[in-house]
Structures are given as C-alpha cells and as structure tokens.
Amino acid sequence: MSSSLLSIGTQALNANQSALSYTGQNIANVNTEGYTRQRVNFETQQPPILGVGIQDVQRVTDQFLVEQVWRDQSALSSSEQQAKKMELLDKLMVSESTSLSSAMDNYFAALQRTVDDPLFIGNRQLFLAEAESLVSTFRTFDQRLTEQQTAITTEARSMVGTINTITGSIAQLNVKISSLAASGQNYNSLLDDRDQLTKELAKFVSLDVVSSDGGITNNILLANGEPLVSSGRAATMTVRDGSPDPAQIDVFLQRGNTAAKITGVLGEGALGGLFTYRDEVLQPTRSEVGRIALVLTTTMNEQHRKGVDLDGRLGSDLFSPTLQGQVYSGLSNKSTGVTTNLTFYDVTQLTASDYEVEITGVDSFRVKRLTDGALFYSRDMANLEASESVGPGGAFSRDDSGNVGTLTLSLDGFTFTLNSNGKPQKGDQFLLQPTKNAARAMQLAITRPESLALASPLRVTPASSNAGNAELLSIEILDGSDTSPLRPGQLDTPIEIVFNALNADGEQKYSVYDVTDPDNPALIDGMSQLNYTPGEPITINTLAGDAIYQIAFANQPRPGDRFMVEYNTDGVSDNTNALALSDLQRAETANGYSYQDAYGQLLAQVGTKANSITVAYEAGKAVLSASEDALESIRGVNLDEEAARLIQYQQAYTASTRLITAYQDIFDSLISAVR
Amino acid sequence: MRISTTQFYTESTRNMLEGQSSLAEIQNKIASGKNFTSLAEDPVGASRVVNLKRELAQFDIFQSNIDGTKRRLELEETTLDALNNATTRAQELIIQASNGTLSDADRLAISYELEELVEYSASLMNTRDAKGEYIFSGSKGTTQTYVKNADGTYTYQGDDSRKQIQVGSNQYLESTDTGQDLFESVPGALSLSLIGGGNNPQLDGAFSNLEITDETAFSAFMQSTGDLKLSINEGTAGALYYSLTDSAGTPITNENTGTDLNLTSYTVSTPATSVTETIAVPGATFDLALPASAGVSEPSISLAGDGVDRLSTVSSPSTNPTLSNSQEFVDFYASTGPFRISVAVNPAATTVYDVSILGYNESTGLYDQDLTAALETAGSLTIGNTDPLTINLPGWNLSLDASESFEADIDVSLEPAQEVTLRLEQPLSNILSVLSNAVEAMRTNSITSASDRSALFGTLAGSLDSLAVIQGRYSQSIAGLGARLNAVDSAEFANGDFKLLTEATLSSVVDLDYASAATELSKRQLALEAAYSSFAKIQGLSLFNFIN
C-alpha cells in the first residue's frame, strides 16, 4: 500500500510542512547578516511509488558573486585603511601651525629683520626664537609620523591576532561541515557562517578560496598561494621586528616549523593597506622631511661659520650639526668586528632614499637605491682616492692594510664607511638611511643673541686717494671650518691690494702686500703683478697655500688705487653674513630645489597620493556595494516573495490534508458498505 | 532585477547617509569660506597655496625693509639739510670775520659762534637712530662717528662699509651712508711718502722738499704711474746704482736731466752720508736722498741643496755667498732665472772637476736646461780647476772645498729686494677740522702787521674754499639720497602691485565661490529630502499587509 492515498497525503503533508518551515526560516532570518535563503526543492517519488519528496534544501547563492564580494571587500578595506592613515599626514601638511613652509617663512622673515638692523638685540632674539620654533616644528612633524608608525605596528599586531582567530574558526567549521555532510544533515547555515567569516578575513588580506570537494572544505590561500587554512588546519600569522631595521615590522606565516615572510604578498585588505601606506607614503615622507632638515641645518651652519658675531669671533654652528645617518647591519651578516659610519660629503646631492648595500663577492658589492630601484655596481665605480669629486655613479676605495679592512663608499652625497676584520663576507647586507632621522635630531646650538654671526669677518677699505671707480663686488669666505685661519689668533694679517700701472702691453696688473707693518708692506709670494680682470675673484691664501677667501672687484681702477682688507673689528652693524644667510632661502640647495620648493614637492606628492587614495576609496565603496547588491539580489530574502510562498505552501498543505480526509471518507464508506 | 528586503533597507539607508554627509561637507565649506580643507581635495591647489603664501610673506618682509630704509634715509636727509644750513651760517660768519675793519674782540665774538656751530655740526654727525646706533659710522655702529682731538680737530672713527638690504626679489639697495663718504671730503695737500725699506736707516727721511708746481699735471702723472718704486744696487768696488720705476717696472724720466732712471749711477762723496738728487716729474719736483749703501734695498741670494755645506769658509769667508756686484748679477739672473750649480769632484777621474749650470724648467719643474756651454762661451762662467774650486759668475764668486770627491748641487734663487715705495697721498679732512682751524686763527690776538693780517685772511680764504667743496659734496649727497628714496618708492609700488596680484591668485585658489556653493547646498538639500520622503513612501509596502 505504499502508494495509497494515505501515504501520498502524508508525504505531501510532510513535504509541505518542511517547505513551510523553511519559508518560516527564511522569514525569521530576513535580517540576519550573511543569510542565504533556502529553497525546498520537491521531487516526485520514483515509480512505481507515487507521492512527493524533498529533493534537497537548496542554498540559493552564486559562488562567483560571493568571491567577487570578497575581492572587492579586500580592495575597499585597503583603500579605507590608507585613506584613514593619510588624513593625519594631510592635516599635518595643510595646517598653518604644523606646516613646515609657514615655519620657514617666519624664520626667514625674522632673519630679514636682522639684515635690516643686525645690531639691535631685539631682532637677534626674535630670530633665535623663530629658529627654535622652526626646529620644534620639524621635530613635531617627525614625531607625529613616528607615532603613526608605532600606531601602525600596534594595529598590525592586533589585526594579525584577529586574523588568527578567524582562520582558526574557519578551520573548525571546515571540520564540522564535512562531518555533517558525511552524515547527510543540512549544513547550510554553517556554510553561511563560514562565508561570513571568510568575508571578515577578506577585510584584512587578499585571499583565494580553493575547494577540492565541491565546497565542503574550503582551503584559503594568500595571493601568492601560501595556504592560510587547509581543511582543518590554520596557519598562524605572526608579527616580528624587521631586518635590518627593527622598527619596520614584518608579517610571517608559521606552518609547522617553518616561517615564511609574507609582508610583500599580503595584497590588498587592511593589513596590506597598512604596509602599503607605511612603505609608500609614511617612510618616504619621513626621509624627505629629514633631508630638508639636514640640508637646511648644514647649509645654514656653513654660511653662519663664515660670519662674525658681536663679540668679534667667527661664528660657530647655528644648529647642532647632524653628522651621521643611520646604518643597520643585516641580522644574518657573517662579517666580524664590524663598525659602520655614515657621514655626508655634500648634502646638496642627497636624495630622500634608503640604500641597500650587499657584498656580492670578495672585492665587489652592489648598492641599490630603494626609491627607484637603481643599482650601482662596484665594478662601474671610480676610485675615491684618485678622483677629486664624486660623479653621479659613485666612488669607493678599499684599505686592507692592517688588521681591520675599511671600505669607503661615496654616493649621492653620503659616505659609507665599513670596517671589518678582514674583508666583509659575501652575502652581508647593510641598510643605509642617510636622512630618515635628521629631523628628529634637529636642535638649535646658539642661545645667546650676541653669538649670531651676522657680520662679515673682513672689512675692505679703499684708500682715500683712489682715483679710479673700482669698487668691491663681493667677498666670499671659502673656509669657515674650525681650522680656518680666520679663527681668532691665527690670522691677523691685514693685506693691501695695490693696482699697478699699465705694463708695456697695456694690461692692468695688481700686487698684494702684507701690511702688518703699515710702513713696510711686504710683497706676498706669488702675488706680484697679477692680471686684473673686473669681476674675477682674487684668491687670498695662507702662507701654507690654503685658500681662505676670495675677493672680487668691479670696474676699472687707476694705477696706485689701493684697497686694504683687514679683520672686521668693531664692525657690529655689518649685515653681510645676515644677507648671505637670508639669500639661502632662494638658493637651490636641496638637490636642485630650494628648501621650500622641496617641501612644496613633497606636499604635491603626498596630496596627489591622498587624492588618488580618496578616489580609490570612493570607487571601492561603489564597486563593493554593486557586487553586494548583485549577490543580495540572488540570495537575499524578499518578504513579499516569502509571503507568497507561505500562501502557496499553506494552500498545498490544506489541499494535502484534504487528501487524508478523502482517504478517511473512502475508508469509512468502505467499512460502512461492508457491515 | 530581484531585490531582497534587506537590500532595499540598506540601499535607502546608504543613500540617506551619503546625502547627509555631502550636505555636511558643503555646509562646512560655506561656514569656513575655504574651497578645500585637506590636501586630498585639491593637491595641486594646496601646493600652489604654499608657494603663494611664501611670496606674500616675502612681500611683507620687503615692505618692512623698505619702511626701515625710508626712515633711515629720511633721517639722513634731515641731518644733511641741517648740516647744510650750519655750513651756510659758517660761511657767513667767516666772510664777516674776513672784514678788515673788525677788531680782535669782534673776531673773538665771531669765533665763539663759529665754535658753537662746530659743536652743533659734530653732534649732527654723531646722530644716533632710535636704537642708539650711530648712523654715519659705517659698520662700526657702536663707535662714535667723530671724536675731538686735543688740538681741536676731529677724527673719523667709523669705516667705509655700507649696509645692503633686500627690497625686491632680486633688488638690493644700500640703506646707509658712511661719514667717510659724506663728510671726509676736503682734500688736503698732496704729498709723497716713503714706505718700505725701513731697515735701511739711511732711507729714513730720504724723501723731502716736494714742490708741486702744477697740481693737475702731477695728479695725472701719479694716477698713470701708481706707486713709484725705488731700488738700489751695488756694483763692483762699491759703485752704486739706483732705479726709479713706476708700478709696472717702467723707469721714470727725470725731467731735470732727461735720463731714464734705470740703474743710474751715483757716487757717495763722504762715506756714511747720503747723496741728494733732485728729481723732476710732470708738475712737481722733489729731493731724493740716496743711501750710501744698498742695505736691504739690494737683492740677495738664496742658496739651497747639499752643496751649501761645501762652500768654503776658509779661503773666502767674506764673499761666500754674498754678491760682489748685485747689479751685474741681477742682469745675469734676469736671463737665466733660478738655476742649479751641479758639482762633481773626483780626483781619480780624468775630469777632476765637473761643474754644470742647469736652468729651471717651469714646464717640467726640474733643473734640466743645461746652460753651461752657452755661459762659458759668453764668458759669464769661469771655473778654476783647483782646490778650493772657484766658480765665477757675473757679480758672484763662490768657492767650494774640493779636497775629497763628492757630488753636490746648489740651487740658486734671487730674493727680491725689499721694495721701497714712494706713494702719493692726499689725506682728507672734514668740515669740523676746517672750521676748528678757522676758530683758532680768529682767536689769534693782536693782529698788527700786514703779514699777520694776510696770514689770517689766507687761512680764512682757505676755509671758505673748503666750505665750498663741502657744500658741493652735501648737494651731491642729498641728490643721491633723493634718488635712492625714489628707488625705494618705486620698489614699494612694484611690490604693492605684485602683492595685490598674488593675493588675488591666492584668493581664487583658496576662497570659496559662495554663489555656486549656495546653489550646491540647496541642490543637496533637495536630494536628501527626496531620499527621506521616497523612503517613507516605499517602506510601508509589504504583501503581509494585504494577507489577513
């Protein structure tokens, strides 16, 4: 009697009842996040049995769209993370109180006031105050960037913790689902849970999902194929201090006993976005700000040392000089007895890049400039000792005499010195950061306003009987270092430049005399009857032949015209050096640009990046909502639809009950007919 | 396309949220008045703003520099005007004092007023600005400009450096003037002074009796020759020669004798005294006392090398290594330049004494030009092949110990003589000293004789001449000041124009266009309201409402 009305009716009742309950399930879960509507599929019983059965409970979804949503979510999270971090940098650069350009404007404005009146102590004090403010603006800027770096590290760690939790749950779900599938039960809601978890994970990293058993077990892979979750096992992500720079943390994936570095393959997603921001925006900005600070302090110091302060002494450093950059040795380096040094030979050639030096052989090495990936090989470099200046390709020299071998490399404005026992081992790596920490180390070295060296150390006095119209064009001090002969006590020699009669060829000549004893001028060696060209600098040397300063005259003198050059004693109102310092504002000192132009370029770069991130963020939002809409339109519960189905199954249920009633009637009729 | 119920709600919510945030953004812009508040909104604009602000800051600086300079120049102008007036009054007083009918007492009275004027002028020249800096002292701002000496004259204490300030992006102006330039304007008497050669006592006071017959011709002469150089050479047997050249080395012609003064001989009559020679040059004559010995005016030989030890001190202690006739040697040296005497003594060899003279080759830096043969042929080089080895060169004989074999070199170079220079000087004086002298003259009591009178009037006339020169310089300076003030003014105008342009550009980049912003505001407001009302209308639609 398997196909009797009763059995048909009972089957129909059961089928419709479960259809109704699943409809109820859909309606109840209309607001559940990530819920995929389930549809009951009926099928007729196999002949000769009549009736209806439930084929399956279908989870109405489109796996392609699901994965599309995951991908779009990763992209959006990456842009979102970068945009959020970018806001800080944006505000720092735009706001008047933190902008480096406004601080420099104020600094140079105060400097110009000292140009106008260098004797007035008030002007000097104001300038020192503005210089202090400039220093603190640079340091604050750098500090905020460093704080952001620390925040990134903290966030990365917490993200990695969250990722580990999620991958663990996904692995457990894999196990549960396969056990449920094995026992034939409905695991649709677990699938929903797993998809939700995967979407959460996609917010952090880019991922690929591969399933070998038709969706029961989902293996989750990173962008480069490293498995995060393989069936029931989840790999652990860890955060470690970076090498060679410990502050640049790296993310590792632990599988069993091996750990692979995955920082570069995180792809998109918030974690990837963090690192992208750190490496493409934050670190380069710090380096660039450091470079501007370094160039500013070094050029200001050099010029300041060429002037004389109110006490009549040659100027010392205005800012504490940044003498060294940062060098990190690779953690797996094998050389012993290593000491390193990173100094500067020409700050105007510095770039804002970090450099990687790798020893590639017994006597060869390779330098990589990290901003543009340019490579410099030792075989192409000039010999440092032989050449006077360093070309764009760099120069190096090696000194292996003695127990400690020294490698000296000069490139792009810096000099890297590596001392090691014997020669450095092949494979050793060093990370050079010439400018990164310069802004942090900035400090004003002068506190007394009288110590500002604003006057020229030399005074030029034309003789009162001069008849020509030659006049002083410029004086340039060549040597402002600590060993300069202009430092007190080392050079008291006043000199006199005397123009002679025209010689037989009609050429104007001049001679230079030492007039320490005005009644007995002594002709200086090698400075007799030299050719005079208006505008051409005359170099004055010490007895040893080192050039101290250069002086240039314009126009034509008459024979017998003389100019005396002596130390500028009591010349307290002179503003020549103040003017020279102030002219540095326009000088192209930072690799072809002035300080504020370099800052403007940085601003434009950061701004363009911020703009494109914002655009990407907005676009990402639109793209994600489009794909989510597409997905929802397939799997989302529509209450109207469910309401209609409710009616539909209710009617079918009622009709099914009528089958049983009909059967009962038939049975009753049969029984009463037989009595 | 099928829509799920949640989708409807999420989309509507999203639209409303976006509408709200865009409305808030435009409201923020209107409230702040700025086109953009972050770099991301307009990176190009932000970078331009930085540049424009920098330019504006610089214009402000230039303006304050211009203001400072104007104040300073105007103060100078006022001071110079007052000085000019004082000078005019001084002129009147001196003219009055030149009146022959005045008595001593009258002149005394005038002298008091003149003295007051001097002190008044001195105080004007010592003007200090508001911060206490002396404005006419050049770069010595804390040093008083003029200081009175014991004899009533005034000396300028400052220097000749002028301050430059920046008034435009490539425009610099001098903002100060020095007392040297403005007040040291009275030329004193032309004089020649002898400097150098101080170690030869016989040259002290060697120069005297400068008489200038034609000042113009004489200044012109001195301006074409520069400093005159005197050099003394000693020849054989103490014969003395002197040369007087201009600063290029060309000898001067003594117009008295018509000869070029190049190695002109002179004789010293009594030992240890000098000879005076009268030299005539265009426009002047002067006496030159020529010393009895050359002393340091003579060039000397400098020897180096290992052969110096070999110089014999036994046989010719007095001649090694001095010149016997510096004039001859100087001539000889002029043709050879620095040279090396290379000596090899080997008693066992065929040529016992081997001497060669090697000239210095500048291009190679070595002594490799063999001059021996040429000099021997010319008779300049004589070698005595004995012990001690004598080598005779024009004006210099040396002998070397040749008792044993050796090889040695002696490098010879000529130390130039210490220059003796005759320099033209014309010290400048200032009005204060001139007037002080006039005061002194007026106070001379008892003008009785005609010579006293003419002396007094001569001094006063000289003072009037100086005053005329001084006033000429004042007018020149005031005119110059006026020109500079004009330049400052035009710089100010130009800066003002540039600043206006820059501000306009900055405003166009930064400031909000209120018209379009207000329109945008109402547009977004409408959109938000539409979102609200459409949500309200649609949200109530559900099939469940119609099924009972």
Task: Domain ranges for chain A, please list them.
Answer: 5-58+636-674, 61-320+438-455+577-596, 323-436, 458-567
Asked if residue A351 lies in contact with residue A291, where contact means CB atoms within 8 angstroms, the answer is yes
Query: Cβ of A608 and B43 within 8 Å?
Result: yes
Q: What is the mean pLDDT of residues B109-125?
A: 92
Q: What pLDDT score was predicted for residue B317?
A: 44
HEC per residue, A235-280: CEEEEECCCCCCCCCEEEEEECCEEEECHHHCCCCHHHHHHHHHHH
Contacts of A505 (CB under 8 A, 6+ apart): none
Asked if residue B9 lies in contact with residue A55, where contact means CB atoms within 8 angstroms, the answer is no
Q: Which of A85, A309, A465, A556 to mutate: most B Cβ within 10 Å? A: A465
Q: What is the mean pLDDT of residues B257-267?
A: 74
Q: What pLDDT score was predicted for residue A578?
A: 93
Q: What pLDDT score was predicted for residue A613?
A: 93
Q: What pLDDT score was predicted for residue A26?
A: 92
Say yes or no to pLDDT of A361 above 70.
Answer: yes
Long-range Cβ contacts of A231-235 (<8 Å, 24+ apart):
A231/A171, A231/A174, A231/A175, A231/A178, A232/A171, A232/A172, A232/A174, A232/A175, A233/A171, A234/A164, A234/A167, A234/A168, A234/A170, A234/A171, A235/A167
Query: B271 preceded by cis ω (within 30°)?
Result: no
**Residues of chain A with pLDDT > 90: what percent?**
39
Say yes or no to pLDDT of B271 above 70.
Answer: no
A188-202, pLDDT tens digit by residue?
889 999 999 999 999
Q: Residue B232: pLDDT band by 50, 70, 90 thresholds? A: confident
Of the two residues B261 and A272, the one the predictor is more confident about is A272
Q: What pLDDT score was predicted for residue A160?
A: 93
List alpha helices for A206-365, DSSP H: 270-277, 283-304
Rounded to a whole number of angstroms, the CA Rg of chain A reads: 41
Say yes or no to pLDDT of B258 above 90.
Answer: no
Q: What pLDDT score was predicted for residue A662?
A: 87
Q: Which of A406-415, A462-471, B147-156, B173-182 has the least mean pLDDT? A: A462-471
Give the C-alpha separation, A611 to A601, whole Å: 15
Q: Residue A174: pLDDT band by 50, 70, 90 thresholds? A: very high
Residues of A in contact with B15 (CB under 8 A): none
Instruction: Choose among A104, A519, A606: nearest Cβ to B198.
Output: A519
Q: What angle (nearest 5°) sits at the alpha carbon of residue B542, between those of residues B541 and B547?
A: 130
Q: What pLDDT score was predicted for residue B23?
A: 94
Q: Is ipTM strictly over 0.90?
A: no
Instruction: Choose among A112, A460, A558: nearest Cβ to B223.
Output: A558
The CA–CA distances, whole Å, from A43 to A55, A95, A511, A642, B76 equal: 5, 70, 118, 20, 113
Q: Strands A395-399, A382-383: parallel, antiparallel or unpaired by DSSP?
A: parallel
Six token digits for residue B48: 């331009």
Q: What is the mean pLDDT of residues A371-385?
A: 85
Residues of A in contact with B427 (CB under 8 A): 464
Asked if residue A70 lies in contact with residue A205, where contact means CB atoms within 8 angstroms, the answer is no
Say yes or no to pLDDT of B229 above 90.
Answer: no
Six token digits for residue B183: 């007040």
- CB contact, 8 Å: B4 with chain A? yes
Q: Mean pLDDT across chain B, nearest whole number?
A: 82
CA A7 to chain centre: 74
Q: What pLDDT score was predicted for residue A1?
A: 45
Q: Which of A193-207, A615-629, B232-246 has the least mean pLDDT? A: B232-246
Say yes or no to pLDDT of A566 above 60.
Answer: yes
Six token digits for residue B489: 């003014």
Asked if residue B89 lies in contact with residue B81, where contact means CB atoms within 8 angstroms, the answer is no
Q: How far apart are the first and last CA of chain B?
A: 28
Q: What pLDDT score was predicted for residue A290?
A: 93
- CB contact, 8 Å: B270 with chain A? no
Q: What pLDDT score was predicted for residue A491?
A: 56
Q: Mean pLDDT across chain A, nearest whole number?
A: 87
- CB contact, 8 Å: B273 with chain A? no
Give the C-alpha separation, A390 to A411, whole Å: 7
Say yes or no to pLDDT of A148 above 60.
Answer: yes
Instruction: Choose among B141, B172, B425: nearest Cβ to A573.
Output: B141
Of the two residues A495 and A163, the one the predictor is more confident about is A163
Q: Rounded to a whole number, what is the distance in Å from the CA of B379 to chain A's nearest CA?
A: 31
Q: What is the mean pLDDT of residues B99-103?
A: 81
Asked if residue B332 lies in contact with residue B395, where contact means CB atoms within 8 angstroms, the answer is yes
Q: Rounded to a whole number, what is the distance in Å from the CA of A301 to chain B's nearest CA?
A: 21
Of the two residues B34 and B353, the one the predictor is more confident about is B34
Query: Cβ of B223 and A30 within 8 Å?
Result: no
Q: How far apart are the first and last CA of chain A?
A: 23
Q: What is the mean pLDDT of residues B443-450?
A: 74
Q: What pLDDT score was predicted for residue B318?
A: 43
Query: Cβ of B39 and A607 within 8 Å?
Result: yes
Give the C-alpha separation, B444 to B455, whole Å: 11
Residue in A283, A273, A151 with CA at minimum distance from that of residue A620:
A273
A99-133, pLDDT tens digit by residue?
899 999 999 999 999 998 899 999 999 999 999 99
Say yes or no to pLDDT of B548 above 50.
Answer: yes
Residue in A78, A637, A621 with CA at minimum distance from that of residue B14:
A621
Q: What is the mean pLDDT of residues A541-552?
A: 78
Instruction: Choose among B61, B137, B424: nearest Cβ to A465.
Output: B424
Instruction: Choose among B1, B5, B69: nearest Cβ to A639.
Output: B5
Q: Residue B297: pLDDT band by 50, 70, 90 thresholds? A: low
The side-by-side arrangement of strands in the sheet containing B366-370 is B300-304, B406-415, B339-345, B353-361, B366-370
HEC per residue, B211-246: EECCHHHHHHHHHHHCCEEEEEEECHHHCEEEEEEC
